[in-house]
Structure 1
Amino acid sequence: MQIHRLNFPFVYKSTIMIFLGEKTMKKRITSLVVIFISIIAIIGCETKKEQEKKTSMERHTTSTEETSGMKVVARVNGKPIYEEELHGRPLEEVIDEEILYQEGLRRGLDKQFEKRIENFKRKLIVDELKREILKDLSEDYKISEEEIKSYYEKNRDKFRLMQLKGIMTSDKSLAEEIRKRLLEGEEPEQIASDYSKSGKEVILRDYRWTNRYNKLFEGKGVGAVSDVIEQHNRFIVIKLMDQKEVPIDQVRQTIIRELIAEKRKNAVKEYAEKLKKENNIQVEIVEGSK
């Protein structure tokens, strides 16, 4: 009996501890079950919201399609392809193109075109405004005979034909040597012949009555020699052999076109100045900029 009395408190305490442990464990399990059910409920709500959103979008797409009256022939990731977009092309080809387009967007390839598109948009807007500015100015484009003659006299260098000879080589130092001999008065034919005989590759070019190099020889007379000009990895030196003026009647239409272009440019400039004054537009040119 003593043995039972001694063991009873131990057994009793153990029983209490087991009972308390089971009770705590049940509470923990109950808490976990509640949390798990809550998570499932949240996921279910989110899934339901996404499904409702998707359904709403599909309804909107369908509604839009029905409203527009356009026939949908396919969809790629929900993006409709309309019959009107085919333009006689096979449907598979248009679908492949849409797949590639969506992949390009996913990779961010559209970003590299944004600046180009913005510049193109800017040009379209400016050009359209210019057309509006100039559409009522056609009467001002009448060019008088006095204007034609004045322009011709001021720009005689533009309206002349020149006879030129050039010597071309792939060696820049040789081109410099050729230029020096031309400046000393030697004839292009003789120079080209000398170098050819010595085995150096040179080409003699003859430009007969052209205005191709008018700007190069602007204000210069017969006998003038150009600097060394680089063209397609070759070097050429040109000498002005002769020149003649083009009669005004042969360049009349050219002069009229240039005068009209000048008047249009001035009209746009005047309109911009007017906008600047009327709207108090502030323009700041950064120092050192042209």
Structure 2
Amino acid sequence: MFFKKLGTIALSAVLISSLAGCGKKEGVAAEVNGVEIPIESFYKSYSASANQLVAQYGEDYLAEKEPTTQKTYKQLLGENALRDLTQIEMVKQDAEKSKITVSDEEVNKQLEAIKAQLGGQEAFNAFLKDNGLEEEFVVNNLKNQMLLSKYVETKQKELEPTEDEVKKYYEDNKDKFYTAKASHILVDNLKEANVIRKEIQKGGDFAEIAKEKSKDTGSAQNGGSLGEFKNGQMVPQFDEAIQKMKVGEISEPIQSQFGYHVIKLEEKKPAEFDAVKDQIKATLQQEKFQKYMEDLTKKSKTKNYVDPSKDFEVPEEYKNYGKSKQQEAQKESNTAVKEAEQQTNKAANKATEEVKETAEKAK
């Protein structure tokens, strides 16, 4: 969707839904603290995403199941649309209490910048047409995203940790902050990783085994060496293993999305406070913000009157919302082909009749 090009803030990652049971309320998709969200807003939000999928993969795609959740894409898009609408309403209400606002002037300035980036008003109009978007819908979403950005920035400043909090976190978590040197051997299965580990423990040369058997070809040619790295630079499972290991130790096989790692820790030095204090500050700030949003969500009274987990109907007029230029062109092409087929069939039928008539006269 257009507004996602502007950099959506993923609040859904830090918000925990507290949704009441679904009843029915005419013309209303949901309520947040008594403020109603019109059903039209749900239809537009859902359709702006759904119609893009339909344009790419066809309408049947919405009925297919996403492998991880086993929910249909229609259900997932509906859930996302409803969650986004209720969350932004909750944030807007809290922003108003905190006097965080975005003026029409700010929105218009940003909109003009976007138009200029696209190539001017005509190009912007063409963009809307190609994506089947109404300008009002785009402007509203732009304003919401600008408000979210300002809201997050303001709240995180308010929740900035003190120097004492940052130092305490460092002292309590020193093992998590380090500079290390290590080598690894990466293989596909646990059995092979265990065999390699035993071979090394019996005196096998780690570097030679890495060159021969590691599927990480980049490090294998250097005997498995990964060089020097800091905490957070490796995949989480690898990082956690290094935190617990002692210099010279050979790890148990560690599984990651790449396979099984046998790690040899060659060097590890604790990071100095000044080197990691900004990182700690950002971590604590994010944790505080997450807690703030969780508490806000728990306090908010949200009622849903649409249940995306069940089949729901979207009026035909909204199914056209988000229709792309390519879809229109395809439709016109299909119509032209159909008309050509009809003309051909008419001509063939006429020729057949003429042949029959000629044959009858010949008799």
TM-score normalised by L of structure 1 = 0.47
